[in-house]
Each structure stands twice: as C-alpha cells, then as structure tokens.
Amino acid sequence: MLLAETLPEFAQELQRLLQVQKPELASQVPILKIVEGCGCGDDFCASFYTQPKPNGEYGPGLDTLLLDTEAPGMLILDVVDGDISFIEVLYRPDVRQKLLALGLQL
C-alpha cells in the first residue's frame, strides 16, 4: 500500500520536511510503500518499513536522518544507499491508530 494513499497528511508532512532538510529524498515520498510494521509492540511506536525488512543490520550504506517535525513526536528515517527504507515514527498516536486500523503489526 502506498504511503501517500494510506496516510496522505503524514506523507505531505514528510515531503515538506524533506524538501527543507534533505531535498534529494523528497521525490521518493509519492512512491513509498508501507511494506510492514516494525513489530516492536511498543504503544508509542508507529514505525514501518518502506523496503523489505533486512536480514540483520543494514550495513555500511545506512544513513540515519532525524527530522525536525511539525507535530509532536519523533520522525527518524533509515536511508540505505540513497533509498528511504524505514520510517521510525514515535509518539504519533494519529499515525499509529491509522496503521493499526489497517491491520499492521506495530
């Protein structure tokens, strides 16, 4: 499922933040897919993979990007070899509720 169709407001927020902080990644937002939830089970987490979950660690091509959010909470991206691979969304109940309603394991 496409992030932009599933969580359009969140996708727009993410794209705006990236335009300011890391513009070369902003063009990826319209085509990002929600592949699976992180599965940690923490009640404050709404994190999800946008690429298949790796077996083990990402390796040397990993770059982690903490975004300055407009809303309360935290937003951290794992970018692997230039591709957004994981979006860590913490303390955002609005996002969490929508993902849980879709049946994602968070």
Give the global pTM.
Answer: 0.94
Domain that holds residue 32: 3-101
Name the DSSP class of 45: B
Residue 106 lies in a domain: no
Residue 69 is predicted with a pLDDT of 86
Residue 25 is predicted with a pLDDT of 98
Query: If you write DSSP's letter for every residue of 47-83 in order, what string do you get?
Result: -EESSPPPSS---TTEEEEEE--SSSSEEEEEEETTE
Tens-place pLDDT, residues 47-82: 999 999 999 888 889 999 999 987 789 999 999 999
What is the overall mean pLDDT for the chain? 95
Residue 83 lies in a domain: yes
Number of folded domains that form the chain: 1
